[in-house]
Amino acid sequence: MGENTVIRLKNVDIYQQKHLVLSNVNLEIKQNEFIYLIGQSGTGKSSLLKIIYGDLYIANGEGVVAGFDLRKINDNDVPYLRRKLGIVFQDFHLLNDRTVEKNLEFVLKATGWTDKKLIESRMVDVLEKVGLRSKLHKMPHELSGGEQQRVVIARALLNNPEIILADEPTGNLDPATSEEIVLLLRDIASAGTAVLMATHDYQIIRNMPSRIIKTGDGALHDNVSI
């Protein structure tokens, strides 16, 4: 595996319960790549993401994600794998009863950060990356949808992940805001954190083309065009 490869799946079969969803999956993602993941519902997109973040185990083939061998990973390893991943969902999953600052602090403390000064500087750092430095003390309901999604991306960056998995991150946003979020994710990828973005929004893909992988007919297809 090349030193800048962050995801590598080789001849992997992916099952949900005992049902074979994707067979013979081969995928390699490097650390500064931005990739779209497309495919109809039920074709294995979610299962592929679950393999990557350790929610499903691989039955056969080889898989390495952020340095973790997916054939050997056990339940105790999964939290450590997930610290190497930033996960961004369509619905923001912010804690609505606390400020942006407290949302970020909650994650840092939950992942072992204890030094108050380091926590504060890390929170400011990630908010600067997403252009929300001034929103530290706002409550989620005081932010627009696009701003809330930027907070979610900031939260995903807290532990310096090697990969961001973005599952329909623009699903609840208008087209102009969606483009801003994708531009931000592309900038993050250019700076060295790979981004794999599952989306149904083909307009965004046309406006901002990049490598596309697609699930369909029980397989994963690479470098497809739409």
The dihedral formed by the CA atoms of 73, 75, 79 and 80, expressed in degrees to the nearest 10: -30
Q: What is the distance between the alpha carbons of residues 164 and 87, in angstroms, rounded to a whole number?
A: 6
* 90 vs 53 pLDDT, higher one: 53
Q: What is the pLDDT of residues 29-54, one digit of tens each?
A: 999 999 999 999 889 999 999 999 99
Buried b (16+ CB within 10 A) or exposed e, 86-105: bbbbbebebeeeebbbebbb
What is the mean predicted confidence (pLDDT) over 196-207? 95
User: Do the strands 219-222 and 211-216 form a parallel or antiparallel pair, or are they unpaired?
Assistant: antiparallel
Please, what is the angle between helix 145-157 and helix 116-129, to 10°? 130
Q: What is the distance between the alpha carbons of residues 127 and 143, in angstroms, rounded to a whole number?
A: 14
Q: What is the distance between the alpha carbons of residues 172 and 149, in angstroms, rounded to a whole number?
A: 9
Would you say the pTM of this structure is higher than 0.75?
Answer: yes
Q: What is the pLDDT of residues 155-193, one digit of tens each?
A: 999 999 999 999 999 988 999 999 999 999 999 999 999
List the domains of the chain with CATH numbers. Answer: 1-84+163-226 (3.40.50.300), 90-160 (no CATH)
| Per-residue model confidence (pLDDT) at position 1 | 53
Alpha helices (runs of H) in the chain, residue ranges in sequence order: 45-52, 78-83, 100-110, 116-129, 145-157, 175-190, 202-207
Query: Mean pLDDT over all residues of the chain?
Result: 94
Radius of gyration of the chain (CA): 17
Token pair 């926590």 in the structure block, residue: 119
